[in-house]
């Protein structure tokens, strides 16, 4: 790998800004912070460390915070709300509705009905302790409700001043088009990383044609690209990556995938950065209209991830990374059950 056109990762004193969307543009820090794992899915979090991580993010200029009502469920929004109390100005707060859950965590299905959209938004505002949400996403498309009806209800929230901008998550190109015709969509949030590149085929061209930004979730491949996971034993007993819901972390697939991560680590070592930083820099290099939201519940990881924003990869670096992790080399589907994905 060449070091030409490359600077080493460092913590920028002021994080660069990027703008999501051109029809309804929203300017955010070039990296966001995914808050999901602070409350659920990736092992047991420590509330104090989580809140400190959010405060440190704001201090470092990472002001684009991502949560959802279903994380916890409900506890992640409350945690984020507590963390940003008294610091709301300058924060771009994103949350999501649509994966309906009961208080005890039971999954009730995907709900895109207008009356539910209205109730979910009010409940999120209460839990977050804010008077508006900056970016409100439909978390999963409800295939039983025309997207026009769901987005129509979301647009009413904008008119009411409860929400500033609209987003979708895991929506197909056709759904994106239909939604955008009802009200401008600012961003699509979907999985994108060196390990998950199918978005490049149809979705990214559609977004660019329509003037919609992309917010890649799981830009670290749910942590595997950092090199910090060597076996399932590195994950807490209650970590959902141990379950069949995440095939890439199981058995032989995990072995194949860890061999790919080892190649990323070699390239990172050559550059004097970490594999996670290189993986994030790769996502950042895919376009100014792309704002990844790496997730962490720890200050140390956050600081490392912010360092990726100072990395500039040249064409040779990108080619070396793409040769190290060929698109079809990753083993296992990204979800065990893909039925909730709109395609």
Ligand X SMILES: NC(=O)c1ccc[n+]([C@@H]2O[C@H](COP(=O)([O-])OP(=O)(O)OC[C@H]3O[C@@H](n4cnc5c(N)ncnc54)[C@H](OP(=O)(O)O)[C@@H]3O)[C@@H](O)[C@H]2O)c1
Binding site for ligand X (CB under 6 A): 34-37, 42, 66, 139, 169-170, 189, 217-223, 226, 228, 276, 293-298, 301, 304-305
Q: Which is nearer to ligand X, 34 or 173 (CB)?
A: 34
Nearer residue to ligand X within complex by CB, 242 or 316: 242
Q: How far is the CB of 205 from ligand X (least distance, A)?
A: 20
Smaller CB separation from ligand X, 39 or 206: 39
Decide if 152 contacts 179 (C-beta within 8 A). Answer: no
Asked whether the beta carbons of 296 and 41 are under 8 A apart, the reply is no
Residue closer to ligand X by CB (options 25, 245) is 245
Alpha helices in 61-113 (DSSP H): 75-84
* Contact between 293 and 32 (Cβ < 8 Å): yes
225: which DSSP letter?
G
Annotated catalytic residue 71: yes
Give the Cα separation of 289 and 296 in Å (integer): 23
How do beta strands 99-101 and 107-110 pair? Answer: antiparallel
Of the listed 42, 71, 137, 165, which one is catalytic?
71
Cβ of residue 329: shortest distance to ligand X, in angstroms? 18
Neighbours of 311 (CB within 10 A): 21
Question: Least distance in Å: CB of 227 to ligand X?
Answer: 7
Q: Report how far residue 53's alpha carbon sits from residue 44's, in angstroms, rounded to the nearest whole number.
A: 15
Contact at 8 Å (CB) between 317 and 40?
Answer: no
Rounded Cα distance, 123 and 292, in Å:
26
Q: How far is the CB of 7 from ligand X (least distance, A)?
A: 19
How far apart are alpha carbons 118 and 154 in whole angstroms?
Answer: 8
> What is the smallest separation between the CB atom of 294 and ligand X, expressed in angstroms?
4
> Residue 173 or residue 295: which is nearer to ligand X going by CB?
295
| Catalytic (active-site) positions | 71
């Amino acid at each position: 790998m060449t070091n030409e056109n490359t600077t080493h990762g460092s913590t920028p004193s002021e994080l660069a800004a990027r703008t999501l969307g051109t029809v309804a543009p929203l300017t955010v820090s070039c990296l966001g912070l995914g808050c999901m794992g602070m409350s659920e899915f990736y092992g047991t979090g420590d509330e104090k460390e989580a809140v400190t991580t959010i405060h440190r993010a704001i201090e470092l200029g990472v002001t684009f915070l991502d949560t959802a009502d279903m994380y916890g469920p409900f506890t992640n929004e409350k945690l984020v709300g507590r963390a940003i109390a008294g610091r709301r100005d300058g924060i771009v707060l994103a949350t999501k509705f649509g994966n309906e859950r009961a208080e005890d965590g039971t999954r009730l299905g995907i709900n895109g009905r207008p009356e539910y959209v209205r109730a979910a938004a009010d409940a999120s505002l209460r839990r977050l302790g804010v008077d508006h949400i900056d970016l409100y996403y439909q978390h999963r498309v409800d295939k039983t409700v025309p997207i026009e009806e769901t987005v129509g209800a979301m647009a009413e929230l904008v008119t009411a001043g409860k929400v500033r901008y609209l987003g979708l998550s895991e929506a197909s190109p056709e759904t994106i088009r239909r939604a955008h015709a009802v009200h401008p969509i600012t961003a699509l949030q979907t999985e994108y990383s060196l390990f998950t590149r199918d978005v490049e085929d149809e979705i990214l061209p559609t977004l660019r044609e329509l003037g919609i930004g992309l917010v890649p979730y799981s830009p670290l491949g749910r942590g595997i690209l950092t090199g910090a996971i060597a076996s399932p034993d590195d994950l807490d007993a209650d970590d959902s990556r141990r379950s069949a819901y995440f095939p890439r972390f199981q058995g032989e697939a995990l072995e194949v995938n860890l061999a790919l991560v080892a190649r990323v680590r070699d390239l990172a070592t050559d550059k004097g950065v970490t594999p996670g930083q290189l993986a994030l820099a790769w996502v950042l290099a895919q376009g100014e209209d792309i704002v990844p939201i790496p997730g962490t519940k720890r200050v140390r990881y956050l600081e490392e991830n912010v360092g990726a924003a100072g990395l500039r990869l040249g064409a040779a670096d990108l080619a070396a990374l793409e040769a190290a992790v060929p698109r079809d080399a990753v083993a296992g589907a990204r979800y065990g059950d893909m039925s909730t994905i709109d395609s």
